[in-house]
Structure 1
Amino acid sequence: MRLCLVAALVLPAQPASAAPGGGRPDRRPPAAPTGLAAAAVTGTSVTLTWHPGTDDVGVAGYDLYLRGALVRSVAGTSTTVADLVTGVTYAFTVRARDAAGNVSAASAPALATAGVVRAADFAVFGFSQSDVHDEDPQVYELDPDVTIRAIGKWSTSGDEAADYNFAQIARYHDKGIAFMGSGTASVIFPHDFATTEIFDDMSTRDADNSPVPHDEFGFPIPARRGNMFNPKYRQYLLGWAKIQIDGGVDGVNLDEVNAGFSGGAKYGFNGNEGFDDYAIADFNRYLLAKYPAFTAADWKSRFGMTDDNIVRRDVPAGDLERNFNYRTYLRTNGWNLNPLAGANPMAAEWGRVVANRMYADDMSFTVTYLRRYWKQMVDELRAYAWRTAHRQILISSNGLLPYVDFNSVGMYPWNPDEQTPDFRGADYVPVVDGHLNGAKSLQANYRYLKDKSRQIAGDVPVAVFIDWPNDMMTNYLNLPLSEKKDYWQIFGAEAYANGLFPSFHLKDTVGSPTAEQQGMLGFFQTYSQFYKDHRSLFRANTPAPQAVRVGPANVAGSLLVQRGTGARTLHLVNHNYAGAIVPQTGFTVEVDVASCPRRVTVVSPDFTGSRAVAFACRNDTLSVTVDRLDYYDVLVLR
């Protein structure tokens, strides 16, 4: 009995410290993990990632500490810590642990301030717009860094705090997902306002001072565009945006801020819109400021003004009975149905507004004042969030606008700055006979958006999404399932390859099939994991100007340089496509570089892990041998 008792006490204890195979006990701790960083921050949570520790036998897991106290143990190299206090800075460390119980030294600490959400940290964007009272469970399955418009205020739904399901924000934060509120900044309906008179006052008007209808939307009730020059309308927009801020959103996306200047179908979209009293008064202010030395003779000779309708400094700009009235000028000259006609000498002063664009070099009246009012709104929302909750919030909009934290660009074919000879615009979902045209490259289109965004807003992230309802969305929804997946593996990858971010499409608000209903949700989960795992490769990238020379045809190459670090990545997107991708094998890629790398590795969503790549570099010309390219490769230059 005594021998059995000793065996029972001693033998079970041996494997706990013994090496595999019965060798000597493992007493060597793993190396400390490196690269601990806050990958994403929300109002009340932080997602932490780190590089794996190493061990002579193998790492079994990791222990996360906050100020020296164990938070949790995890098996992988990332975790989200929720229920943090907004505005408080937390210091985290992580230790690696092996199967024998040996624990590494602590990593270098990572600091994160809850509530300080940085768009620069985002690598995976989702698009799932719900009504303000709805919630999309698909978001929790995809687990992106952010949804660019988690909810959308439309018409009267969203005018009151009780309209919203703000409880879902905590569920977003538990997953480490930033929650963007949103709403239309342009479309209005009669029932949005208490009286017909208020509705009329809030509406854009043509050059005859009549409200402009927008029946082209196809709504069963009359729709118009809201007038951004009306200070009461701007306060109306700020009102519902502040309700969302009070509810705890991490940011606000205002959709179509400057869309009310097209003239609509009634005028063939010729720009006959925006000529209300508020805008006309501001036009007078603009002219007086631009031409401070002009005399009556100058106004007459330059613009053909008359004694009874001329810009005056001695009369308030808003007194349209005694001061210059641009509508009267247009009517007198026969331009009231087509105010932007080339014969009108004031058309260039007024300017032509491009929807969802505010070009940095456009100093015309409309864009100058829209930019001014947009900045005032952005500043007020940021100040309100700080004043009421001591929070920093994100601001975004549909298009390329200044003063934002990131630009989210709806992909549709109507933007005049992206028109092509076939009038298909950028054609962001290219199809031929109902099937994906994977042979087309969108590199030039993506780079145009990236470059314009930099000119307008500086170096902020640019996310692109399939906008609705338009034929880009129709093309996508009608693709066979395999070609939907190919779309993201080709054109989603090409966005990343040019420094942009595709927004994985989960849901719209017009009843189209969801990603889950289309059989796409599982694919999105698997595919987006690559970008989460390699997020450091995709942040703050700018396309380098030099061309990438690729052996086979129909392979788009781009060299990206990371701002701040100077890290370089070489991206290859395969457009050899005939109903399915045609892999390319055994070819060479060349690019001129400022300095030769010491090592080149390749990572890809098409395979796991990383691989060393054969290369040569002489006279600052890098030549890389690619064994096989399926959809997308990222060559990392070290």
Structure 2
Amino acid sequence: MPRRSGTPRWSAGIVAMALAVPGQAAASPSRAGDFVVYGFSQSDVHDEDPQVYELDPDTTIRAIGKWSTAGDEAADYDFTQIGRYHAQGITFMGSGTASVIFPKDFATAEIFDDMSTRDANGDPVPHDEFGFPEPARRGNIFNPEYRAYLLSWARIQIDGGVDGLNLDEINAGFSGGSKYGFNGNEGFDDYAIADFNRYLLAKYPAFTAADWKSRFGMTDDNLLRRDVPAGDLTANFNYRDHLRAGGWNRDPLNAANPLAAEWGRVVANRMYAEDTSFTATYIRRYWKEIVDELRAYARRTRHRGILISSNGLWPYVDFNSVGMYPWNPDEQTPDYRGADYVPIVGGHLNGAKSLQSQYRHLKEQSARIAGNVPVVVFIDWPNDMMTGYLNLPLEEKKDYWRIFGAEAYANGLFPAFHLKDTVGSPTATDLGMMDFFKTYTRFYKDHRATFKDNAIGAQPVRAGAANVAASLLVQRGTGKRSIHLVNHDYDQGITPRTGFTVEAEPGSCPRRVSSISPDFPGAKSPAFSCRDGKLKVTVDRLDHYTVIRL
């Protein structure tokens, strides 16, 4: 593994220039809207996963991942693998953590402190919950030097020839970590609270001193002023002092704090379109600056565009890659764990559960946030969802993709087929999954035109059999319609549904109907009738998943 001799690379005020890799292909990346098969295989920046070439997906959402000092220099990387990706027509996505930092990442302890997020007392927030052998913190996206640091390694990957970049956990530095019980006591550094002053002054341009005091409980000795620079936290309003005075410095998002709603509650890996609070407004602004700079850099230096993604639901991306993990915000549950994306009961797959509503929620939120970009879901790690998946019996692991991978497709999303993580878990090959993946994904490649760029149809679909989730998709641009059926009659194995009718109101009657499935070869021509836009199709057999093309 290429390493420097323990000398941290980043010094404040210095942006190192990356070196272009001679002979590296620089073809324009494919349009993300054309992808239908995604893989998940993340390697360290110097490593390569041969499983990717076996699966032959359109892309992997994070082929390599910059972590700590590994990836600070061009010599750390094996960029030659990009040519091997391109030889098979696979788009290469680089990536790196956008928030986890360590002392060795920076030249001095002072720079590390300056790059770190802080609590409402102004102290750096530790993240011991990671369990790493060295102290870990979160980087501060409000600090322009930290944003320059992110851009420095991203430019190295662009110069190396990546087709795109996935920046992981953009807004993760606001939880407070285990020290504060994840109550949001983080992000209260000088950079952020200076921006908070700017936000308040812009939002309330007519406020007088009396207004600031009556509305937000400010005091004469700590009052927001227009005649003093917003960043002068001695002469102007200092939000940390305000929190200490109110007794909220250990719980700054407490509802009793009149400024808590203005500050906002950051939801990790989400940037909701309707959120106009301070944190959302400025994180969104800084994220756009980063994205715009990376796109401009690629155009300026490599004369091509690049794809951008991040973990979660974000604007300004070419596709959203959504990690599935516990404590997600995608479904309100009594235990606060959120949507159960890998449903397991007693060590066995709970294939009787449907994820249709959760998948649709992700797709609808992504559309509001980012427009009509593809949404890819992957089992994130390390967490108990991934552990549960890895521990399933082999056939039930396959059934996970036959049911819940298919259900993603059935609702206009895409699953990322899991090949490898970076923590030493068994790979797809180790688990005996590769032959299945190669055969199963071939179906989606062969029917690419059916699965790309679909929206959820508004018209109802009714399946005349229990435990069948049905949906209607309408393809943007062509208007082509397809009905998708996912069988959830499952108990440690699927029970096929036979001889039932599907009813839909697609708006107009089709001339022809055909059905395709990864469960049978070729295409079938099911019996159907249609009158006044009301369609009835007879399904002779549904194993796991069938698509009826209209």
**Which TM-score band (shorter chain)?**
over 0.9
SS state of the match for residue 503, structure 2? Answer: strand
State the 1:534 CA deviation.
0.2
CA shift digits 1:483-503 (9 cap, x unpaired):
000000000000000000000
Task: Give the corresponding residue for 1:501.
Answer: 414
State the 1:544 CA deviation.
1.1
Aligned-partner Cα distance in 1 for 2:328–2:491? 29
CA shift digits 1:516-555 (9 cap, x unpaired):
0000011000000000000111111011123311111110
State the 1:422 CA deviation.
3.8
State the 1:84 CA deviation.
11
Task: Give the corresponding residue for 1:380.
Answer: 293
CA shift digits 1:36-92 (9 cap, x unpaired):
xxxxxxxxxxxxxxxxxxxxxxxxxxxxxxxxxxxxxxxxxxxxxxx9975xxxxxx
Which range moved further: 272-281 or 613-622? 613-622
Aligned-partner Cα distance in 2 for 1:581–1:371? 44
Task: Give the corresponding residue for 2:428.
Answer: 515
Contact 1:494 1:573 in 2 (8 A): yes
Task: Give the corresponding residue for 1:182.
Answer: 95
Aligned-partner Cα distance in 1 for 2:314–2:28? 24
State the 1:116 CA deviation.
4.2
SS state of the match for residue 520, structure 2? Answer: coil
Equivalent AA in structure 1 for residue 351 of structure 2: G
CA shift digits 1:189-241 (9 cap, x unpaired):
11111111000000000000000011111101111100000000000000000
Aligned-partner Cα distance in 2 for 1:412–1:85? 36
Task: Give the corresponding residue for 1:416.
Answer: 329
Task: Give the corresponding residue for 1:546.
Answer: 459
**Residues 106-185 of structure 1 mapped to structure 2, 5 A cutoff:** 114-185=27-98
Contact 1:263 1:273 in 2 (8 A): yes
SS state of the match for residue 609, structure 1? Answer: strand
Contact 1:117 1:393 in 2 (8 A): no
Does residue 1:466 correspond to 2:379, yes or no? yes
Equivalent AA in structure 1 for residue 383 of structure 2: N
Does residue 1:213 correspond to 2:126, yes or no? yes
Contact 2:29 2:307 in 1 (8 A): no
CA shift digits 1:144-190 (9 cap, x unpaired):
00000000000000000000000000000000000000000010011
Contact 1:187 1:223 in 2 (8 A): yes
Contact 2:24 2:160 in 1 (8 A): no
CA shift digits 1:367-396 (9 cap, x unpaired):
000000000000000000000010110000
Contact 1:260 1:274 in 2 (8 A): yes
Contact 1:413 1:419 in 2 (8 A): no
Task: Give the corresponding residue for 1:429.
Answer: 342
State the 1:427 CA deviation.
1.0
Aligned-partner Cα distance in 2 for 1:604–1:422? 37
TM-score between the two structures when normalised by the length of structure 2: 0.95
Partner residue of 1:577 out of 477, 487, 490: 490
SS state of the match for residue 430, structure 2? Answer: helix
Task: Give the corresponding residue for 2:246.
Answer: 333
Aligned-partner Cα distance in 1 for 2:477–2:178? 47
Task: Give the corresponding residue for 2:201.
Answer: 288
Contact 1:354 1:415 in 2 (8 A): no
Task: Give the corresponding residue for 1:389.
Answer: 302
Residues 274 and 420 (structure 1), Cα distance of their counterparts in 2 relative to 1, 3 Å cut: same
Partner residue of 1:236 out of 127, 149, 152: 149
CA shift digits 1:444-474 (9 cap, x unpaired):
0100000000000000000000000001100
Question: What is the aligned-residue RMSD (CA, Å)?
Answer: 1.0
Does residue 1:591 correspond to 2:504, yes or no? yes
Aligned-partner Cα distance in 1 for 2:457–2:534? 14
Question: Which runs of no fewer than 5 residues in structure 1 stay unpaired?
Answer: 1-82, 87-113
Equivalent AA in structure 2 for residue 479 of structure 1: L
Task: Give the corresponding residue for 1:476.
Answer: 389
Equivalent AA in structure 2 for residue 200 of structure 1: D
Aligned-partner Cα distance in 1 for 2:67–2:487? 40
Task: Give the corresponding residue for 1:368.
Answer: 281
Aligned-partner Cα distance in 2 for 1:281–1:142? 49
Equivalent AA in structure 2 for residue 169 of structure 1: I
**Residues 207-286 of structure 1 mapped to structure 2, 5 A cutoff:** 207-286=120-199
Count matched residues.
528
Contact 2:164 2:307 in 1 (8 A): yes
Task: Give the corresponding residue for 1:528.
Answer: 441
Does residue 1:301 correspond to 2:214, yes or no? yes
Larger radius of gyration: 1
Does residue 1:565 correspond to 2:514, yes or no? no
Task: Give the corresponding residue for 1:348.
Answer: 261
Equivalent AA in structure 1 for residue 249 of structure 2: N
Aligned-partner Cα distance in 2 for 1:626–1:416? 37
Aligned-partner Cα distance in 2 for 1:147–1:525? 14
SS state of the match for residue 546, structure 2? Answer: strand
Contact 1:263 1:269 in 2 (8 A): yes
Task: Give the corresponding residue for 2:548.
Answer: 635
Contact 1:574 1:630 in 2 (8 A): yes
SS state of the match for residue 173, structure 1? Answer: helix
State the 1:418 CA deviation.
2.6
TM-score between the two structures when normalised by the length of structure 1: 0.82
Aligned-partner Cα distance in 2 for 1:390–1:508? 32
Identity of aligned residues (%): 77
Q: Which is richer in strand?
A: 1
Task: Give the corresponding residue for 2:316.
Answer: 403
Equivalent AA in structure 2 for residue 571 of structure 1: H
Contact 1:131 1:151 in 2 (8 A): yes
SS state of the match for residue 155, structure 2? Answer: helix
Task: Give the corresponding residue for 2:358.
Answer: 445
Partner residue of 1:320 out of 233, 241, 252: 233
Contact 2:330 2:358 in 1 (8 A): no
State the 1:330 CA deviation.
0.4
SS state of the match for residue 517, structure 1? Answer: coil
Question: Which runs of no fewer than 5 residues in structure 2 stay unpaired?
Answer: 1-22
Equivalent AA in structure 1 for residue 35 of structure 2: F
